[in-house]
Amino acid sequence: MTRLSFLILAMGLTAALSVSAITAEEIIANVERNEINEEERIDGSMIISDRFGSRVKTFISYASGADKMLLEFTNPEEKGQKILRLEDEIYLYFPEAEEVIHLQGSALKESVMGSDFSYEDMTGEGDLLDQYKVTLLGEETIDGRRHYHLELEAKKRGLAYPKQEAWVDAEYWVMTRANSYSLSGRLLKEMELGDIRKVAGKYVPHYIIMRDAMKKNSSTEMRIEKIDLQADLPPNVFSLEELTW
């Protein structure tokens, strides 16, 4: 063995060791570190497509950590309607009726404004590692970029998706693809994330496409028009006062 080929083999082994050294839990922790922010504000849009065409809904959302979020629709059809998530509770506000509706249990799986996103999809499911057992299945190259392939199995009942498969960009720590399955293993939803940009030191996908595997010709695309990861949110933004304002 020449000195050069020994060096190449040693480098290869080191690389292989470094890959296997990372655990599935560490990958998810890196993903959450990248995507969960102390305080953020997003101006975005949701484009719902079906066989009759597209419907556009615009929104502003405020989030703090993994379990607090307030989303307000700004398009004319749903203007002023709000969704507030506080830990495991979701509140909906309908301005015309001045009515607050409290969602719990299966209602969280209901579609948001006819989109392919459920209330849980829109507001996050909280800490993934608390809720899912994760397994690293291997590495794959997608669009020329190294990805980790993971499997997530629900630790408890009642989660929106009992089983998920996810692909995480090994450099950006962004989940670029995810498939969700039912308990019987039936594909429910496919999600694809892209247009990744660096914002305030973090990698942020600026579009998400969700396809409902149960419906033909149906998809929902969520686009981030503007994002502020250092938003100085008012202290009472996740409250009844703000929800009904």
- Residues of this chain that interact with other proteins (CB under 8 A) are 48, 50, 52-56, 74, 76-77, 79-80, 86, 94, 96-99, 102, 104, 106-107, 109-111, 114-116, 188-189, 212, 214-215, 234, 236, 238-241, 245
Largest CA-CA distance found in the chain, in angstroms, rounded: 79
Of 203, 245, 201, the residue nearest 224 (C-alpha)? 203
Nearer to other proteins, 18 or 106 (CB): 106
DSSP 16: H
Backbone phi, psi, residue 113, to 5°? 50, 40
Q: How far is the CB of 130 from other proteins (least distance, A)?
A: 20
The string of DSSP letters for 207-226 reads EEEEEETTSTT-EEEEEEEE
Q: How far is the CB of 226 from other proteins (least distance, A)?
A: 15
- Say if residues 180 and 191 touch (Cβ distance below 8 Å): yes
Q: Which residues of 208-239 are buried (b: 16+ CB within 10 A; e: fewer)?
A: bbbbbbeeeebbbbbbbeebbbebebeeebbe
Quote the least distance from Cβ 221 to other proteins, whole Å. Answer: 14
Closer by beta carbon to other proteins, 153 or else 242: 242
Smallest separation (angstroms) from other proteins to the CB of 42: 17
Q: Which is nearer to other proteins, 210 or 224 (CB)?
A: 210
Nearest approach in angstroms of CB 119 to other proteins is 11
CA atoms within 13 A on the CB side of 51: 3
Closer residue to other proteins, CB minimum distance, 77 or 130: 77
Residue number with CB closer to other proteins (101 or 142): 101
Residue 225: alpha-carbon gap to chain centroid: 16
| Residue 86 vs 129, nearer CB to other proteins | 86
Minimum distance from residue 134 beta carbon to other proteins (Å): 24
Structure tokens at 224: 């981030």
